[in-house]
Amino acid sequence: MADAFDYDLFVIGGGSGGVRAARVAAGEYGAKVALAEDDRYGGTCVIRGCVPKKLMVFASEYASMPQEASAYGWDIQAGPFDWQRFKAKLNAELDRLEGVYRKLLSGSGVETFDQRATLKDAHTVELADGTTKTAKHILVATGGHPVRPDLPNADLGIVSDDIFHLEQLPKSILIVGGGYIACEFACIFNGLGVEVTQYYRGAQVLRGFDDEARGLVAESMIENGVDLHLGTNIVEMARASDGATTASGSGPIWVKSTNGSEKTFDLVLFATGRDPSTHKMGLEEIGVKQGRRGEILVNEYSQTDVPSVYAIGDVTDRVNLTPVAIREGMAFVQTVFGGRPTPVDHDLIPSAIFTQPEMGTVGLSEEQAREREEVEIYCTSFKPMQSSFAGQSHRVLMKLVVSKATRVVLGCHIVAPNAGELIQLVGIAVKAGLTKEQFDATCAVHPTMSEELVTMRNPLRSA
């Protein structure tokens, strides 16, 4: 099937999107496929993103359980968190998952190269050892990487990739940033007993998400012990002179902020953005167009200006979520090898932020919706039964954004424990274009938090 080429498809990048595309093209369509990966198979999500982060979320949530259990009649004594024990188990799990990815590829007949690959021309890739391979189609799926800010001594801080390699937990940490990665790790470290300070230069964390929902997340973070400073950034940072050894393996870090304060931290984490991993890949030389941050520009079929070269996932900087990369990979295979041109659907993608409490969202925020049309807002915030009984002040939020004209639910936003699980199911209804009346016609499951989504009869406001 490869004809004059070594392969029908050569995939650069062994993350979730690249692996899915490679194994489906080979296993289901009989294509001759190769894949090159210069790091660990599984990519950002499996090795240094979603999976280890979520396991750390789980670990951090146990801290509050003894206190809550006491209100329910249990005598559970809290002990210290053992980072070394957790880290050993975490690394074993990541090794297992990487093995699964390798088996999926080999079982599908994909040839793999454990080295960096770059593009030499429209049909040729060059491996790090100097050998070249030709392919009818080339798929770039190299993902993204965290970046440090342009700040003197920024190398003293770490980025999200480094967290899972810490030899020990810091006693104190400064997290710089206000996106979901910054907020998630602020909650994680706080739950693990670290003294957490967070600086964000904006007026509120989680920019781009629904204002009401992100406001409750910020309030909850502060209530849980995160020292959150908005409108604040680093002015200067330097290695402190007391010579103590910290989690980073060297002395503490002195930081001066824009609010005038000076403080010393064991560790500084920069969660200030990610860039596509396209540096020195030969893209420009062969005519593949890129955006200002290096993202590969593609059409609705993930095809670049060079017809034989495609790109999926974070390297295209469209919607940087693992399930999206996987769907883009599937659409690519259906288009190129299945004979069914399949555009990528980026509309109404549910997502979750694993803060404490979690935030789940799908569709338009209130702010986005009211710029398009008149909407009604159905919203409630309350103490859930489990927390209320335990004497805790935690609140949850359930919110629906509804079109006045069509009654279609344009967006749903949930801030609550397990919001990620809830928004997956609500996402089906919103994707299907259901109306508020169809939500109301669904019988409530009682007693649950989520029953509020089908029992809010009167709009809180119009916008």
3-state SS, residue 416: strand
Cα(462)–Cα(279) distance, integer angstroms: 48
**Residue 196 counted as domain residue:** yes
pLDDT higher than 90, residue 125: yes
Q: What is the pLDDT of residue 250?
A: 72
Say if 171 falls within a structural domain.
yes
Omega prior to 323 cis, within 30 of 0: no
Confidence of residue 344 (pLDDT cuts 50, 70, 90): very high
Euclidean distance between CA atoms 32 and 7, whole angstroms? 5
Residue-number span of the structural domain to which 57 is assigned: 7-145+275-336
Phi-psi group of 294: left, alpha or beta (phi > 0 → left; psi -120 to 50 → alpha; rest → beta): left
The chain-wide mean pLDDT, for the chain, equals 96
Same structural domain for residues 112 and 37?
yes
Q: Quick one: pLDDT at residue 211?
A: 98
Nearest to 412 by CA among 360, 458, 357: 360
Residues 283 and 141 in one domain: yes
| Residue 287 sits in the same domain as residue 199 | no
Mean pLDDT of 59-84: 95
Q: Note whether 15 and 48 are same-domain residues.
A: yes
pLDDT at 2 over 60: no
Judgement on whether residues 79 and 139 belong to the same structural domain of the protein: yes
Burial of 186 (0-12, 13-18, 19+ CB in 10 A): buried
Closest CA to 278 of 74, 42, 117: 117
**Domain of 434: which CATH number?**
3.30.390.30
**Cβ proximity of 325 and 313 under 8 Å:** yes
Last residue of a domain, one of 336, 361, 384: 336
346 located within any domain? no
Q: Which long-range contacts (CB under 8 A, 24 or more apart) does 193-198 make?
A: 193/63, 193/80, 193/81, 193/169, 194/169, 194/170, 195/171, 195/227, 196/172, 196/225, 196/226, 196/227, 197/172, 197/173, 197/226, 197/227, 197/229, 197/263, 197/265, 198/174, 198/226, 198/227, 198/228, 198/229
- C-alpha closest to that of 275 among 88, 451, 44: 44
pLDDT at 246: 63
Amino acid, res. 218: A
Q: Whole-angstrom distance between the N-terminal and C-terminal Cα of the chain?
A: 58
Residues 65 and 107 in one domain: yes
Q: Which strands make up the sheet holding 253-257, listed edge to edge?
A: 234-239, 253-257, 262-265
Q: Which of 244, 272, 300 is the last residue of a domain?
A: 272
Do the Cβ atoms of 178 and 335 come closer than 8 Å?
no
165 in the same domain as 115: no
β-strands 111-113, 33-36: how paired? parallel
Dist CA 312 CA 302 (whole Å): 6
pLDDT of residue 243: 57
Angle 211-223/180-191 helices, nearest 10 degrees?
Answer: 20
Average pLDDT over residues 230-246: 85
Q: What band does 245 get if pLDDT is binned at 50, 70 and 90?
A: low
Domain boundary among 336, 359, 380: 336
According to DSSP, the residues that pair with 409 across neighbouring strands are: 402
pLDDT in tens, 20-38: 999 999 999 999 999 999 9
Residue 194, in any domain of the structure: yes
Beta bridge partners of 264: 254
Q: Is residue 1 part of a domain?
A: no
Mean pLDDT of 207-227: 98
**251 pLDDT more than 90:** no
Are 239 and 254 a contacting pair, CB within 8 Å? yes
Same domain, 178 and 326: no
Per-residue CA distances from 275 to 295, 310, 415, 421 (Å): 8, 18, 28, 29
> Residue 241: its pLDDT value, please?
79
128 shares a domain with 21: yes
Q: Are residues 133 and 242 in the same domain?
A: no
Give 75's pLDDT tier (boundaries 50, 70, 90): very high
Say if residues 266 and 252 touch (Cβ distance below 8 Å).
Answer: yes
Hey, what are 281's tokens?
């890949």
Q: Do 286 and 262 share a structural domain? A: no
Residue of 123, 394, 413, 446 marked active site: 446
Average pLDDT over residues 328-337: 98
Assess whether 279 carries a catalytic annotation.
Answer: no
Hey, is 11 helix, strand or coil?
Answer: strand
3-state SS of 353-412? ECCCCEEEEEECCHHHHHHHCCEEEEEEEECCHHHHHCCCCCCEEEEEEEECCCCEEEEE
* Residue 311: predicted pLDDT: 98
- The number of CA neighbours under 13 Å toward the Cβ of 292 is 0
CA 119 to chain centre: 28
Question: What sections of 72-203 are H helices per DSSP?
Answer: 83-107, 160-163, 180-191
Q: Is residue 201 part of a domain?
A: yes
Q: Does 2 reside within a domain? A: no
Domain count, the chain: 3
The C-alpha atoms of residue 320 and residue 143 are separated, in whole angstroms, by: 9
From the number of C-beta atoms within 10 Å of its C-beta (0-12, 13-18, 19+), residue 443 rates as: exposed
**CATH code, domain with 53:** 3.50.50.60
299/413 same-domain check: no
- Residue 342 domain-assigned (yes or no): no
DSSP track, 65-86: HHHHHHHTT---------HHHH
Which CA distances in Å does 299 have to 116, 120, 306?
26, 22, 11
Tell me how far apart the alpha carbons of residues 9 and 33 are, in angstroms, rounded to a whole number. Answer: 5
Q: Is the pLDDT of residue 244 over 90?
A: no
